[in-house]
Amino acid sequence: MSFQKFGLKALLASATILALPFAAEARELRMGLITPPSHVWTKVAERMAEKLPEATEGELTLAIFPAGQLGTEQEMFQQMSAGLLDAGLMTAAITSLRAPSLQGWFTPYLFPDVSAAIDAADTPAAGQMLDELNRAGLHGMGYTFAGMRHILMRDEPATDIAALQNKKIRIVPFPAMKVWWQAVGAVPTPVNLTEVYQALQTGLLDGVDIDLDALVGLKFQEVANNLTLTSHMPFPAVMVVSDMTWATLTDEEQDAFQAVVDEALAWGSQQQIEAEASNLATLEGEMDVTRLMDGKEAFATANEAVDASFAAYPLIGAFQAQVAEQAQ
């Protein structure tokens, strides 16, 4: 074969290679959350990470940072605002600092159990709450749930309001929960979730407002032996994406991402329904568990204080009415 002929073939081969479309390198999105690896929300996030590459034909992947690796929720929201973090599966409690009507989820004794709260995610008002996040530079994608909130105490069960007077209770620092605990007569005390175990152990805290998933996952029963089942509020999470990130996705990528999120959030909610029973069974074998059967009546004053604090938010009233109608 002559050099000229070989050179021509090589040139043609090179041109053919250059003409072939290159496989686009996958874009990695970063997502943070505060829950430990065992928590249902972390499992939801892992499910999203598992399914997103296939749904986007390899265009998007999702890196998960659980257990507060990227900081507190407040810090992660700041990172999303600055474009340093793409997404988070965040408590509706802290998210409500950016969309106040989300506090409607924490109406005391609005829901008898987590199943009823899950059903309420389909109400029009719940969707409008997510839309409020647009004003904070965030895109709300949907809800999933941890269990109902209960009261964990170090030394004695919370059988009535008198047992909670002047007790230091760890809360999530947002208005509705703070108002409720102040009206109870306790001392609401914000402590990072990762520091609660030690705070209970040393007596810095007398108790915790907690869901069973977090209690079991973080082994708080090792340092506090009295659980009162009050079911006074549900505890939803909101899947949020930075508007800066969302705007860079194509329509096809947005649709695929939303579909993956919808499936994972629904899966997580179903898992939580089952986890409520299994978590309680675990705890009943390890600690003292008291059922407060008349919680709505026992905490009536605190419940009324929270309702009064919602007066400035018409959407919360609409949400409460839609939940009541749904329950009929």
CA angle 258, 212, 103 (to 5 degrees): 55
Nearest to 287 by CA among 235, 233, 219, 231: 219
d(CA 217, CA 210): 11
Tens-place pLDDT, residues 250-304: 999 999 999 999 999 999 999 999 999 999 999 999 999 999 999 999 999 999 9
Q: Is the pLDDT of residue 19 over 70?
A: no
CA atoms within a 13 Å half-sphere pointing along the CA-CB vector of 222: 10
Which CATH number covers residue 210?
A: 3.40.190.170
Helix (H, G, I), strand (E, B) or coil at 77: helix
Q: Residue 9 domain-assigned? A: no
Q: Residue 12 domain-assigned? A: no
| 146: β partners | 235
Q: Residue 162 domain-assigned? A: yes
Nearest to 216 by CA among 155, 276, 271, 293: 276
d(CA 233, CA 223): 24
Q: Which pLDDT band holds residue 194 (cuts at 50, 70, 90)?
A: confident
Tell me the average pLDDT of the chain.
Answer: 92
Write down the pLDDT at residue 25: 84
CA angle 45, 50, 51 (to 5 degrees): 100
Q: Residue 309 domain-assigned? A: no
Helix (H, G, I), strand (E, B) or coil at 206: coil
**Tokens for 301?**
């004053």
Q: Do the Cβ atoms of 236 and 92 come closer than 8 Å?
A: yes
Domain that holds residue 219: 26-302+314-327
Tens-place pLDDT, residues 314-328: 999 999 999 999 999
Distances (CA, A) of 21 to 9, 16, 18, 137: 21, 10, 8, 35
d(CA 60, CA 49): 9
Write down the pLDDT at residue 38: 87
Structurally, the chain folds into a number of domains equal to: 1
Among 19-33, 88-102, 301-315, name the one with the lowest average pLDDT. 19-33
| 139: β partners | 241
Q: Is the pLDDT of residue 5 over 60?
A: no
Q: Which pLDDT band holds residue 222 (cuts at 50, 70, 90)?
A: very high
Q: Residue 21 domain-assigned? A: no
Q: Residue 71 domain-assigned? A: yes
**Tokens for 261?**
């999120």
Residue type (1 letter), 22 = F
Tens-place pLDDT, residues 89-134: 999 999 999 999 999 999 999 999 999 999 999 999 999 999 999 9
Nearest to 93 by CA among 29, 180, 158, 206: 180
Write down the pLDDT at residue 18: 39
